[in-house]
Structure 1
Amino acid sequence: MDLQLSGRVAVVTGASKGIGLAVTRTLLEEGAQVVAASRGSSPELDALAGPDLVHVPADLTDPEAPGLVVARATEVFGGLDILVNNAGGPPPGVSLPRMSFLTPTDDDWRAMFEFNLFSAVRAIRAAIPAMLARGGGAIVNVSSGGARRPAPMNVDYNAAKAGMNNLTKALSEEFASRGIRVNTVSPGPVRTAWWTEEGGAADILAGVTGTDRDTVMDDVAPEMMALTTGRLVEPREVADVVALLVSPRSASTTGADFAVDSGFLKEI
């Protein structure tokens, strides 16, 4: 299927690894020009270097950073058609999961919302005028299955992502008539650095369950989260859905939430 993305300009946040890296790679493969934003680059992102990729170092918890990233896209590639708000998860220096509502402090809540909601709000605020100047565009906000399945674990993260879902619906209502579509993709547990890095979710759960990192990812987590497929999601699987949603082939899809979660979300 031709996704008709050749020559379109995209900003992808959190692009150096995990889902963001997979989205960046997929959009480049489909012919898009990509501004990849992240605090630092990575060998995997560097390997994608070429005339259609620009990396912008940015700490997206800085209120000025999202606007500067969007401005860089218009400066280098002449406009903006696509925004993928992928940056999120544990704020810098934080390890998840947290097991109880009583664990995060006020500062923890603020940091979680800055990274997982407010950075997207600011990026969207900067992107909409640039998209309107091109006659429209597509925004995908990367949310989480936890936004629709509340639980005591990671309660601050889930609340921020629930806000993301609400924001997406509101934006889709306001801007669809002006050519901007806004959707969410809600992954379940994805085999990314959040899980795999030392001190990450797999190590934390291994300590709780008395197992090891690989056993958590291969067996414990899929069973604990009742994943129908029996395995964690791969980043490319999320990226493929994002690419379809930002494509003109999805011209009638807006205000929707797509679960890519190995069957985590059971509710209708």
Structure 2
Amino acid sequence: MDLNLSGRVAVVTGASKGIGLAVTRTLLAEGARVVATSRKPSQELDELAGPDLVHFPADLMDPEAPAALIAHAVEVFGGLDILVNNAGGPPPGVTLPRGSFMDATDEQWRMMFELNLFSVVRAIRAAIPAMLARGGGSIVNVSSGNARQPSPINVDYGAAKAGVNNLTKVLAGEYGPQGLRVNTVSPGPVRTPLWTEEGGVADLIAAQAGIDRESVLSSVVPEMMKLATGRLADPQEVADAVVLLASPRSGSTTGADLAVDSGFLKEV
């Protein structure tokens, strides 16, 4: 299926690995031009180098960084059609999962919201004028199943992502008449470096359970989280949903939240 993305300009945050890397790779394959941002590049992102890819190094917790990112995309490629707010998760120095609500300090709450909500707000604020100048566009915010399924071990993260979902609904209503669509994709557990790398979530659970990392990923987490598919999602599966929502082929979809979560969410 042709997603009609050839020549369109996209910004992807958190693009150096995991879901963001998969989104960047997929957009390029569909003919889009991409400004990919992360604190630093990665070997996998460098392997995608070409005339249609620009890396913009930035720490999106810096209040000035999101606007600078959008301005750079407009300067390099002449405009903006797609914004994928993927950067998120625990900020530097913060480890998830927690033991309980009481384990998160005020400063950790602030940092979590800076990365997972406020950076999204700032990027969207900067992107809207550029998108409206081209007649509209698509914003896809990568949220989380924890936005709708509260968890005491991820309480600050879930609260920030719930804010992203609320923001998305508001923006979809306000800007839909001007041709700007805004949606969320909510992953469950995904085989990204957050889970799989040394010292990641799987290692933390493995240390508590006295088992190995692969057992955590292949059986313990799917059973613990009651994943209907029996496995963690692949980053590409999330990226496919993101890029479809970014595409004009989803022209009547706005204000939606698409779960790509292996059946994690059970409520109607």
Tell me, yes or no, whether TM beats 0.5. Answer: yes
How far residue 93 of structure 1 moved from its aligned partner, in angstroms, is 2.5
Q: What is the rounded CA distance, in whole Å, between the counterparts of 2:23 and 2:94 in structure 1?
A: 24
Partner-residue secondary structure (3-state), 1:208: helix
Which ranges of structure 1 fall in alignment gaps of 5 or more residues?
none
Q: Does structure 2 retain, via aligned residues, the 8 Å contact 1:95–1:199?
A: no
SS in structure 1 at match of 2:4: coil
Task: Compute the RMSD of aligned alpha carbons.
Answer: 0.6
The answer for the alignment partner of 1:24 in structure 2 is 24
Using the size of structure 1 for normalisation, the TM-score is 0.99
Contact kept in structure 2, 1:16 and 1:41, CA below 8 Å: yes
Aligned twin of 1:172: 172
Establish whether residue 84 from structure 1 lines up as the match of residue 84 from structure 2. Answer: yes
- 1:17 and 1:44 in contact (8 A); partners too: yes
Structure 1 contact 190–235 (Cα < 8 Å) conserved? yes
SS in structure 2 of the partner of residue 153 of structure 1: helix
Structure 2 Cα separation of the partners of residues 144 and 209 of structure 1: 25
* Alignment of 1:235 onto 2:235: yes
Q: Give, in angstroms, the shift of residue 69 of structure 1.
A: 0.6
**Residue 221 of structure 1 pairs with residue 196 of structure 2:** no
Which residue matches 1:127?
A: 127
| 2:142 alignment counterpart | 142
- How does 1:55-70 map onto structure 2 within 5 Å? 55-70=55-70
SS in 1 for 2:103: coil
Aligned structure 1 segments of 4 or more residues deviating by more than 6 angstroms:
none
Q: Sequence identity of aligned pairs in percent? A: 75
Secondary structure at the counterpart of residue 206 of structure 2? helix
Is the Cα–Cα contact under 8 Å of residues 63 and 119 in structure 1 kept in the other structure? yes
Number of residue pairs matched by the alignment: 268
How far has the Cα of 1:213 moved from its partner? Answer: 1.1
CA deviation vs aligned residue, 1:193-212 (integer Å, no higher than 9, x gap): 11012111001111221212
2:197 is aligned to 197
* 2:132 counterpart letter in structure 1: L
Distance 2:107 2:138 in 1: 33
Preserved CA contact (<8 Å) 1:12 1:36: yes
Matched residue type, 2:35? V
Report the TM-score when normalising by structure 2.
0.99
2:113 corresponding residue in structure 1 = 113
